[in-house]
Amino acid sequence: MNALARRLEQRLEQIRAADLYRVRRIIDGAHGVQIRVDGRSCINFCSNDYLGLAADPRVAAAARRALDASGTGSGAAALVSGYNREHCALEEALAAFLRRPRALLFSSGWAANLGVLRALLGKNDMLIADELNHASLIDGGRLSGATYVRVAHANGAAYAAALARTAGRSDTDLVLVATDGVFSMDGDLAPLPELVRLCAAHDAVLMVDDAHGLGVLGAGGRGIAEHWSALCGETLVPQIQVATLGKALGCGGAFVAGDEALIEYLIQRARSWVFSTAPPPALAAAARAALAIVASDEGAHRRARLLANVERFRTGCRQCGIAMTDSATPIQPLILGSETATLALSRRLFEAGFWVAAIRPPTVPPGTSRLRITLSAAHTEAQIDRLVEVLAQGIEARAA
């Protein structure tokens, strides 16, 4: 056994011993509410398919039409020969939907966040970021070379203190505040009104990754900015908006939305965009079809049903004495703390016909292992009620 193999085997054994070993599960067929996990039929309660569009036949039909017209791949980066008419149409549709001047399509949310932060920031700049931001924002900030300041989670006072320390900087130095819109593991929201106000007062740029808000929050499904704008009575517009197409839109890829200068600069300097093969045109066509549903009356009905499902789940948990966080989004974490207990409850649910993956460190901080339960507009009331029942039985059995 060589040195690399010895090191890896030792570290893998440490991961197994700590109940932190991860195993991929094979899903057969469509990724909807009803799925087959390792050959077993399950109700899926850990997907980000919030509106039930991942298996929608209209979205698939749009992809098939584009496959017939444009083939399976784009063949090159967008600046070479990979920029298909479908990519252009999707970018224009996203910009119009969000009421922003431009949008730029990326292959993934990870690529989008890294591309933005590395393109905009350098060693003389500062990034102020929530401590619970997505890993792509964390890694993008570290790789940018900027001074990285982590602030307490969703804490307006901590942001204010960090921004106050930027007074007197050079006009050529950039201060960028980056936050998730909806935090992916806790389901709570960034304090957007306060962040917009603070950034304006300190001439800082605000970047919001709204991966879990797009399609879900706001009367029109435009995400966290629309949600908060309605609550505070003023239009809130982060300079940089990032979101993915693989969650509420049920497809894949991501985008950055902003003004003309931002998008043109990213086209010139975002390395994860410049040096990546453009996404398949069929994927862009599918996302555009999903976006049309999100923007329609049907999309509004799906959001209403989703919120009703969230409330039904939370009400059921309260009635059964299950302690949940105060998240009002489709992300409903049940924090158990222990990795062993989390794995055990996940297995119990699987045996009862529910798929809820165990989330453990390093995805979440040590001591906060959890079941990240997510609701969809496609779940039925009976499925939600049965999940609550099995959860209550599992928690009761653990306490006995």
Residue list, annotated binding site:
22, 134, 184, 212, 244, 363
Our measurement of the distance from residue 26's CA atom to the centroid of its chain's CA atoms, rounded to an integer in Å, reads: 22
Annotated binding site for pyridoxal 5'-phosphate: 184, 212, 244
Q: Which residues carry out catalysis?
A: 184, 212, 247
Query: Which residues neighbour 186 within 8 Å (Cβ) at sequence distance 6 or greater?
Result: 132, 325, 327, 331, 333
Three-class SS string for the chain?
CCHHHHHHHHHHHHHHHCCCCCCCCCEECCCCCEEEECCEEEEECCCCCCCCCCCCHHHHHHHHHHHHHHCCCCCCEHHHHHCCHHHHHHHHHHHHHHCCCEEEEECCHHHHHHHHHHHHCCCCCEEEEECCCCHHHHHHHHHHCCEEEEECCCCHHHHHHHHHCCCCCCCCCCEEEEEECECCCCCCECCHHHHHHHHHHCCCEEEEECCCCCCCCCCCCCCHHHHHHHHHCCCCCCCEEEEECCCCCCCCCEEEEECHHHHHHHHHHCHHHHCCECCCHHHHHHHHHHHHHHCCHHHHHHHHHHHHHHHHHHHHHHHHCCCCCCCCCCEEEEEEECHHHHHHHHHHHHHCCEECCEECCCCCCCCCEEEEEECCCCCCHHHHHHHHHHHHHHHHHHHC
Annotated binding site for substrate: 22, 134, 363
